[in-house]
Structures are given as structure tokens and as C-alpha cells.
Amino acid sequence: MITIAALWLGFAAGARAQPLSLEDCVRRAESVSAQAKPGLIEEARARAAVQEARAGLLPQLSAVGIYQQSNNPAIQVVDNNEAALRLTQNLSPFSPQWERARQKEADLRAQSAMRAASQQDVALQVKTLYFSILRGLDEAARLDETEARLEAMREAMIPKYSVGRLPPFDAVKIRAALSSLARRRDFVSAQLDEDKESLALMLGLKDASALSLRPLKATPLAPGAASAGGDGNPRLLALKERVASAESGARAAREERYPDLSAGFDYGYMGNSGLFNLYPSANYPANAYGSPVGWGYNASLSLSLPLWDWGGISARVAQREHDAALARANAEIERQALAAGLAGLRRKARAALADESRLAALLPETRRAAEVQTRLYRRGATGVLEAVDAWNTWLDAMITEREDYYEYLLDLARMENALGSDSVRYE
């Protein structure tokens, strides 16, 4: 049993140590990260608001109880009691409640789009951190390699320096170069730790130091996607639904001017021992008339038409129409900004990819040049300054090439976010 438990714990530890792919990180962050939860809550709230609005269109059942007593001889009511079930239903085809229900449905669609937008924002944050971590790891590896090269040069120059065959500046230059690399590595390490902590927090992981990521490469966007205008962007879709919601609100305000018809039906215990007698006459003598106590019903129709409310309805109509106009203006502003942003991202992605391709072609040449300078230095044909500069040139070219590559990936991720679709395949 102990052996089986040990094997299981070893398997679990190995499973935890498996590198995470970008898809794994995005999927996990969308389900557990705190950034994704507000969108889900707002969508659930909007769905409840739709249910509330629809419920107002259906028959309403309630229990009614009335107990009334009076000793006023003018109206001659002794008591009037009722205990019944009341059923009411709005029958007007012009009821504002219909448009209010449509308004809530548009709000729900808008909130669903915003929830999708928040999930895409979470995915973009994950991709940004993922790319930053991989770029930091690449830079750290190249810094270590360059440091090893310079350290080998320093060890080779120690015997010459000890016998005075080299000027003191050569040793200072080597130490300064190594110190600069160490400083740069410290900054890269600190940024790596920060990025890992942030990504682990989004993934719900407690141990950021054990976070391991899988290297990747990306295929470019499809030509059709690259030329799209971003009509599938969730924020743009949400704004369009906000326009529909505002227009429904304007129609609901206008319908307040129309007649309103409703029906009611009471059934239950009804009875009184007195009768309203507001106009005593020969036909209605002053004594109290009683009706039998027992079960019965009461049906009613109610028709109302607003005649004058000092411009209240007109003011509400004007407000809702302005809301709709503002929503249309905001949607157009967002569409224009999205189109401009996509155009800029396409240009940046092409420029980053072109720079990365040029530097990738240049890297073998800079490495050969650094190796040649190292051999010349060991033979005494050149100084340490030329050799160190050659390796620094190779290091800068490598780091810049990686920066361009990951900037290209980040531009692709931003384009995906703007287009509202996952059009890039990461391998």
C-alpha cells in the first residue's frame, strides 16, 4: 500500500510538472480567474431581469382580504368584508410592458456580449503574460550563453594579464561586460518572477515557481480575417444591443399615451351587512340593506387613457429618444476606433514580422563574426574591446529578434481580441 501511494504521489507530481500550453492557460483562466467572474454575474442578473419583465405580461394571482367597518350614518355602511383570490391580466396591445420586456432581452444580449468580451480580455492577458515569460526565458538563456563566452575569454586572458602582457584596460573591460550582463540578468529574472506570479494568480495556482510553459509558434491570421472590419467584436455587438434596448425604451415611453385595458376577477368569501347609500330617496330608503354572506365572484374591466400630465410622458419620450441617439453615436465611435485600431495592428504585426525575419537571417553572421573575433583575440591579433563588442552585438541581435517575434505574437493576439474570434493557431 505504501508503495502504491508513493507511486501515485510521484505520478501526481509529474503531472503537475508538465508544461502548460497556451490553450490550457486560457481555458483555465476563463473558468477560475477573478477577472472573468463579474461578466458572469452581470449576465445572470440581466437574465433575471428578463424573467421579471416577462412575468409582468402573464396573469397575476394574488390573495385579497378586506375588513371594513364604519358607523357613519351618511353612507350607512356597518361592515364590508371580503376574502378572495384575485386574478388580473393586462389586455392592452399597447401596453409599455411589452417593450420593456424587449428592452430587457436586448440588455441580456448586450450583457452576454460583454461577458464574451471580458473572457477575451482574460485570454489576452494570459497571452501577454505567456509571451512575456517565454521571451524572458529566451533572453535569460542567451545572457547565460554570452556570459559563458565572456567568462572563457576572461580565463584565457588571466595568464597574459598576470605577466603584464595585456594592458589593465582589457581586464576592466571584461569585468564591466560581465557586470553589465549580471545586471541585465537580474532585471530579466525579476520580470520573469513577476510575470509568473501574475499568471499563476490568474490560473489559480499557488506555486508560481513550479509554473512551466510550453514553447510555441503561431500561424498568421487567415487573409479573410486579416481584412475583416471587426464586426464580430463583442463590445461592438454589445453596443448594437444597447441601441436596440434604448429604442425599445423610447417605444415604451411613447406607448404610455395609448389606452390601457386590464381585466380583474375575484372569487371568494364576500359579504356585508350594510350598503352604501349616498343618495337616499324613496327608492333607496334610509335603512341599511343587507346581502347574504357567502361565496361569490366579482369581475371587472378597467380602461384608462391619460389626458394631461403636465408633459411628463413627453419628457420621458424625449429622454429615451436621446438615449437611443447617444447609444447609436457611441456604437459608431466604437466601430471607427476598432477599424483604426485593427489597421494599426496589421501594420505593426507586418513590421515586427519583417524585422524578425531580417534579424533571424543576420544571427548566424553575427555569431560567426563574434567567434572569429574571439580567435583573433586569443592569437593576439586584436584587442579585447573588439571581441567583447562582437559578442554584445550578437546578444543584442538575438534579443531583438526574440522581442520582435513575441511582439508579433502579441499583435496577433490583439487582432484576435479586436476581431472577436480565435483566428490564430498556436503550436
Give residue 92's pLDDT band: very low, low, confident or very high (50, 70, 90).
Answer: confident
When mean pLDDT is compared across 189-193, 282-286, 344-348, the lowest value belongs to 282-286
SS3 330: helix
Instruction: Report the share of the chain in percent with pLDDT over 90.
Output: 21
Q: Are 393 and 366 in contact (CB under 8 A)?
A: yes
Q: What is the mean pLDDT of residues 302-321?
A: 89
Looking at residue 221, its pLDDT comes to 60
pLDDT value at 187 more than 90: yes
Best-predicted range by mean pLDDT (170-179, 236-245, 374-383) = 236-245
pLDDT value at 110 more than 80: yes
pLDDT value at 376 more than 70: yes
Looking at residue 6, its pLDDT comes to 40
Give the three cell numbers for residue 241: 444591443
Q: Is the dihedral of CA 122, 123, 127, 128 positive or negative?
A: negative
Give residue 112's pLDDT band: very low, low, confident or very high (50, 70, 90).
Answer: very high
Cα maximum dimension of the chain: 143
Looking at residue 18, its pLDDT comes to 77
Give the three cell numbers for residue 36: 472573468
* pLDDT tens column, 16-39: 457 888 888 888 888 888 878 888
Pairing of strands 260-272, 79-90: antiparallel
pLDDT value at 388 more than 90: no
Give the three cell numbers for residue 68: 371594513
Looking at residue 271, its pLDDT comes to 63
DSSP 39-83: HHHHHHHHHHHHHHHHHTTS-EEEEEEEEEE---TTTT--EEEEE
When mean pLDDT is compared across 5-14, 56-65, 187-196, the lowest value belongs to 5-14
Please tell me the number of Cα atoms within 13 Å of 4 on its side-chain side.
1
* pLDDT tens column, 43-84: 999 999 999 899 988 898 999 887 766 665 555 545 567 788
* pLDDT tens column, 412-424: 889 888 888 777 7
CATH superfamily of 18-57+98-259+318-419: Outer membrane efflux proteins (OEP) (1.20.1600.10)
Q: What is the mean pLDDT of residues 138-164?
A: 77
Q: What is the mean pLDDT of residues 283-307?
A: 67
* pLDDT tens column, 130-144: 999 999 999 999 889
Whole-number Å distance between alpha carbons of 389 and 393: 6
Whole-number Å distance between alpha carbons of 28 and 118: 14
pTM here is 0.76
Instruction: Give the residue, 157 or 210, on which the prediction is more confident.
Output: 210
When mean pLDDT is compared across 321-325, 330-334, 423-427, the lowest value belongs to 423-427
Q: What is the DSSP letter of 426?
A: B
- List every span in the chain annotated with CATH 1.20.1600.10: 18-57+98-259+318-419
